Amino acid sequence: MTRTIGVLAMEHIAVGLVDDHQLVGATHIFPDKHSEFDCLSEMPAEEIAQGMAREIAACGGQEVGAIGVGFPGVIKGGIVEESPNLQQMKGQNLAAMLGALLRAADINAPVHVLNDADAVAAGVAATLGHLDHFIRVWTLGSGVGFGRYPQAEGVWEGGHSVVSLDPKEGFCNCGGTGHLEGVMGHRAMRRRFLDLEPEEVFAHARTGDERCVQFVKYWHRALAAATATSIHMDGPGKFFITGPSARYIQVGVLDQYLHEMVKMSPLQGSQLEVVATSDETAIIGAALSATHAAESAG
């Protein structure tokens, strides 16, 4: 199997060399690990692409067969059509921009850009032995991502599923009303609780603070509702939940709410599992997706 490079852009940029679904050598981080959380949100588009190109070159990009980039937002044909959490990237042809920078460094491997949650899903499939199965993955961080493996044609912005009809539910960074990300996203929780950080909300709920207790129930119901919608559209199956905010998930509570929402017998039986993932998982998934794309093109 030809070596590939995987790139993840979420709260930072992480790049690694992948061989046979395993990371080879160190992960390269841009900006450095001590940078502010979500530091890419204010960085110019050109600087993001240049940072990726530098780290790809540092990984030995001259010797790889393909480069995969997991990036947040609606991605089509290498173009970032929309990225609510990295709004400066909207409309950017990231594949072309990055390809030009790499060619200037004598790196000619094809660049494949996909949604970051899809990269995580591919990485979960590769590292947990699910390459022969259909899986779905929720990524809970600054925003909320929804990944599928294998990938399929479509937008699949599950983080923007509508889970509330309350017109006051306007905390999603895309500006939409009633979205899952507006309930569960780290940024959205900070906007909702101006006096508490998200981790304090969950800590206060454990001590019986009624405002926080009710929100934690609402938070779980929101994810159950979006999961139920996916089940009603795509059928039952395995759902993995990961990301920084996955540590707040109470699987039993979530499973109970899901069973209240999915009643048709052919649609029952989905499994929910919280898994710890890392940059490495998404890097492997991005590299795997790039390999598949290169094979399909060739």
Q: What is the CATH number of the domain that holds 83?
A: 3.30.420.40
Q: Is residue 43 part of a domain?
A: yes
Is residue 256 domain-shared with residue 284, that is, in the same domain? no
Q: What is the pLDDT of residues 144-181, one digit of tens each?
A: 999 999 988 888 899 999 999 999 999 999 999 999 99
Q: Is residue 147 part of a domain?
A: yes
Q: Is residue 121 part of a domain?
A: no
Is residue 153 domain-shared with residue 233, that is, in the same domain? yes
Is residue 292 domain-shared with residue 205, that is, in the same domain? no
Q: Is residue 189 part of a domain?
A: yes
- Which residue has tokens 């900006």? 31
Is 31 or 140 the better-scoring residue by pLDDT?
A: 140
Q: Is residue 183 part of a domain?
A: yes
Backbone φ/ψ region at 211: left (φ over 0), alpha (ψ -120 to 50), beta: alpha
Q: Is residue 123 part of a domain?
A: no
Is residue 203 domain-shared with residue 144, that is, in the same domain? yes
Is residue 285 domain-shared with residue 269, that is, in the same domain? no
Alpha-carbon gap, residue 135 to 127, rounded angstroms = 13
Tell me the pLDDT of the chain averaged across its residues: 94
How many domains does the chain fold into?
2
Domain that holds residue 181: 129-274
8 A C-beta contact, residue 270 and residue 231: yes
Is residue 94 domain-shared with residue 184, that is, in the same domain? no
Is residue 76 domain-shared with residue 15, that is, in the same domain? yes
As a whole number, mean pLDDT of residues 227-253 equals 97
Q: Is residue 18 part of a domain?
A: yes
3-state SS of the chain is CCCEEEEEECCCEEEEEEECCEEEEEEEEECCCCCCCCHHHHCCHHHHHHHHHHHHHHCCHHHCCEEEEEECCEEECCEEEECCCCHHHCCCEHHHHHHHHHHHCCCCCCEEEEEHHHHHHHHHHHHCCCCCCCEEEEEECCCEEEEEECCCCCCCCHHHCECCCCCCCCCCCCCCCCECHHHHCHHHHHHHCCCCCHHHHHHHHHCCCHHHHHHHHHHHHHHHHHHHHHHHHHCCCEEEEECHHHHHCCHHHHHHHHHHHCCCHHHCCCEEEECCCCHHHHHHHHHHHHHHHHHHHC
Is residue 265 domain-shared with residue 285, that is, in the same domain? no
Is residue 96 domain-shared with residue 140, that is, in the same domain? no
Is residue 57 domain-shared with residue 153, that is, in the same domain? no
Model confidence at 34: pLDDT above 70: no
Is residue 135 domain-shared with residue 268, that is, in the same domain? yes
- Quickly count: other Cβ atoms within 10 Å of residue 145's Cβ: 30
As a whole number, mean pLDDT of residues 211-220 equals 98
How would residue 1 be classed by pLDDT, with cut points 50, 70 and 90? low
- The model's pTM is 0.92
**Closest to 292 (Cα-Cα) out of 57, 18, 96:** 18
Is residue 184 domain-shared with residue 95, that is, in the same domain? no
Q: Is residue 122 part of a domain?
A: no
Q: What is the pLDDT of residues 261-292, one digit of tens each?
A: 999 999 999 999 999 999 999 999 999 999 99
Task: Give the Å distances, CA to CA, from 71 to 24, 82, 120, 283.
Answer: 22, 11, 10, 11
